[in-house]
Amino acid sequence: MYYPKKFNVGDIVQTKKQHPCGSTEWEVTRVGADFKIKCVGCGRLVMLPRPKFEKSVKKVIKSAMSEDNMDELGHLKEQKEILD
């Protein structure tokens, strides 16, 4: 059973690709049609369309909302990776 992924401002996510600074962790600073994320390693801000953001995210490391939400996202993500 799949739910649309929900991201919130303040979430810390891990991306599949490493930023040139070496970090794979980003803080979500804006959500919507376009997402804005800040590199935890170097503080660089990047704006990208939602679909691209969702594709580049490997997992949510820390959810700004609830632990339940974070667990759910992590669980769904793992299932998807197995199916892929």
Which residues contribute to the site for Zn ion (CB under 5 A)? 19, 21, 23, 39, 41-42
Find the DSSP H helices in the chain. 50-56, 67-83
Q: Judged by CB, which is closer to Zn ion: 18, or 79?
A: 18
Q: How far is the CB of 83 from Zn ion (least distance, A)?
A: 31
Q: Judged by CB, which is closer to Zn ion: 38, or 69?
A: 38
Q: How far is the CB of 28 from Zn ion (least distance, A)?
A: 15
Q: How far is the CB of 75 from Zn ion (least distance, A)?
A: 28
Q: Judged by CB, which is closer to Zn ion: 40, or 73?
A: 40
> What whole-number distance in Å separates Cα of residue 71 and Cα of residue 84?
20
C-alpha to C-alpha distances, 3 to 27, 56, 57, nearest whole angstrom: 22, 18, 16
